[in-house]
């Protein structure tokens, strides 16, 4: 195998059997359960990286079921996404922590975009009249979200616009062989080709529990603001470097 072959074919590891295929990555019947809550402003400012800023201390806790994901298969994900203002003064989101149950999207999400993914066991299901999201880190329950199932319909066009137009930001870190950062970038991405099939809201509650290796409760729930349940198709667009911390 010569140097030209390595350069041409290198995009993931292991080289001879990559953990995921090349994109784009399209998701069919992707199901979101999102609970937005108010938390401590100082706690947010301590973890949101410049040049992003925080004005309103709002966090969205997400449970996402992805039964048909090109290249990644069938998996479920959960995590915290923070409302921020980007360097252009526009509303955006910053993904703080993510937990999921499938190796391919863990590897692809971290290597390509810088999604902060760790292995855990989230679930999203319907229990009678209730939409239920749970997150277990190992055998320990660290989050429970509930919402009345399809109590009220939301405006599909408005939800589709939010998903399509709101930029997402990630802190991508890849270390050098000596442990120092070789890549340290703020990455921006968008959801593309979004089609929302349904959108609902209802009464909701969220409980977070302390865990040393899944410290989601460090952003405490002070007040639940809203909740929504979405069914959609979308393509996860590849990212671009918004800021290079090593430049």
- How far lies 170's CA from each of 37, 178, 184, 220, in Å? 20, 23, 10, 21
Cis amide bond preceding 14, omega within 30:
yes
Let me know if 65 is a catalytic residue.
no
Single out the catalytic residue among 65, 117, 172, 228: 117
Between the alpha carbon of residue 102 and those of residues 107, 110, 168, 200, the distances in Å are: 9, 13, 22, 27
Rounded to whole angstroms, the Cα distance separating 185 from 25 reads 22
Handedness of CA 94, 217, 108, 172 (dihedral sign): positive
Structure token pair of residue 38: 């108010």
Residues 6+ apart with CB under 8 A from 48: 54, 82, 84, 94
The residues annotated as belonging to the active site are 117
């Amino acid at each position: 195998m010569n140097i030209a072959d390595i350069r041409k074919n290198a995009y993931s590891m292991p080289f001879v059997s990559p953990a995921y295929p090349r994109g784009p990555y399209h998701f069919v019947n992707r199901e979101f359960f999102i609970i937005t809550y108010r938390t401590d402003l100082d706690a947010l400012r301590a973890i949101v990286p410049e040049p992003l800023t925080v004005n309103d201390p709002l966090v969205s806790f997400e449970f996402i079921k992805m039964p048909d994901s090109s290249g990644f298969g069938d998996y479920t994900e959960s995590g915290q996404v923070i409302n921020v203002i980007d360097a252009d003064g526009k509303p955006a989101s910053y993904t703080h922590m993510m937990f999921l149950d499938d190796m391919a999207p863990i590897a692809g999400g971290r290597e390509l975009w810088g999604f902060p993914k760790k292995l855990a066991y989230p679930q999203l299901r319907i229990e009678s009249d209730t939409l239920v999201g749970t997150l277990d880190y190992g055998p320990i329950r660290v989050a429970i979200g509930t919402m009345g199932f399809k109590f009220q319909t939301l405006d599909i066009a408005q939800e589709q616009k939010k998903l399509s137009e709101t930029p997402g930001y990630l802190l991508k870190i890849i270390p050098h062989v000596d442990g120092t950062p070789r890549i340290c970038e703020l990455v921006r991405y968008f959801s593309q080709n979004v089609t929302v099939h349904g959108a609902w809201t209802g009464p909701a509650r969220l409980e977070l529990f302390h865990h040393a290796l899944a410290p989601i409760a460090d952003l405490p729930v002070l007040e639940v603001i809203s909740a929504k349940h979405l069914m959609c198709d979308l393509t996860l667009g590849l990212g671009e470097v918004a800021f290079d911390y090593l430049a």
